[in-house]
Amino acid sequence: MHRRQKLSSPEHKRDLAAHGGPLSMSRNDTRSFFNFSQLVLSAGHFKSPPVLKHSKVTYFEVEILDVQSKKQICIVDKVPPSSTLLDVKHKFHKACPQWYPSRVGLQLERNGPYLKDSINIQSLAVSSIITLYFTDLGQQVGWTTFFLTEYTGPLLIYLLFYIRLSTIYDQVESTKNFRHPVVHLACFCHCLHYIRHLLETLFVHKFSGGHTPLKNMIKGCAFYWGFTSWIAYYINHPRYTPPSFGHKQVSFAALAFLMCEAGNHFINVALAHQNHSGSKACFPSPTYNPFTWLFLLVSCPNYTYEVGSWISFTVMTQTLPAGIFAFLMVIQMSLWAQKKHKLYLKRFYPEVRRKAAMIPIIF
């Protein structure tokens, strides 16, 4: 029986390595391998990516209550902080389809003003729940539709009286009587006035998608259409009496009317250019155009020119209905001018503080 010869340690290791056997490692070798492994794992491109922490987005809940009964109508949830009030109105419309966004009025307080659609919802938040009061504004129409309807009526109505329909005037009397030149001039001036309004509504004025109640358009149409019918009936009547001072009165008043119409147009263009440019840091200043020099005296020269047009038309035609209409226009325009002048004082105090609202010294 032969005794197995014990191999030396290096030879034993080589034989095991050749036959795929396990290698025994010394304590120093193990420690070196562990340190090398830690070094590799700590390398840049082998390092495990950091865990991304997602920022939590705070959503708001908008509670909408009826302004009269204070009862809850609905809750608009998951409203992002970047949303506007118009976005809330669209979501409210999805929950309550009978109220589309343009007829929805929202208030922070029951007796407070209606909030604008452009306001950011985050600016209203005191907590995660925002309470708003709802008011049904009724049937709404766009501002472009409002003005086109309001100004188209007087243009067509006056022309119906100008051609002297047999249903309005006596046909025999209309053919016999001679028409004074002021009748033709008054028709031209009246049509020019409303054609200018229509063209400026389409091409000059820019409305930011606002709406107004339908009842306001009905009242405006009743006022303009009714007075136009009254004025046109007397001026185009076969027994119409021309002005007392003849051609001098007509010529002077017609020239003043045309100048006021031109001034009104150039002022509206200047105001529209200021709004389009986006520069609202200063009050509109006069330009080389002499019609804009009225900015030096009043803050609302477009209303000044509008009133001047109707006063000139009254002097030119010398009729009572035109005078009453001009008087009412002075009152209405002065109220609008005072309201707009107060807004200008808040925004452009240094430039506006020494100006009048519509008529120098008086208003």
Three-class SS state of 327:
helix
> What are the residues whose beta carbons fall under 8 Å from the beta carbon of 330, sequence distance 6 or more?
307, 311
What's the distance, Cα to Cα, between the start and end of the chain in Å? 137
Reported confidence tier of residue 36, pLDDT bands at 50, 70, 90:
low
Helices 301-317 and 246-277 sit at what angle, rounded to 10 degrees? 160
* Global confidence as pTM: 0.78
Helices 320-347 and 214-235 sit at what angle, rounded to 10 degrees? 140
- For 310-348, what is each residue's pLDDT tens digit? 999 999 999 999 999 999 999 999 999 999 999 888 888
pLDDT of residue 44: 47
Which domains does the chain possess?
Answer: 60-138 (3.10.20.90), 141-241 (no CATH), 243-275+284-362 (no CATH)
With beta carbons less than 8 A apart as the criterion, state whether 271 and 294 touch.
no
Residue 146: its H or E element: helix 143-162
- For 191-227, what is each residue's pLDDT tens digit? 999 999 999 999 999 886 678 999 999 999 999 999 9
The number of beta carbons lying within 10 Å of the beta carbon of residue 243 is: 17
Q: Please name which of 347, 330, 207, 335 lies closest in space to residue 284, comparing C-alpha atoms.
A: 347
- For 178-190, what is each residue's pLDDT tens digit? 889 999 999 999 9
Identify the residue whose tokens are 């109105």: 89
Question: What's the length of the chain?
Answer: 363
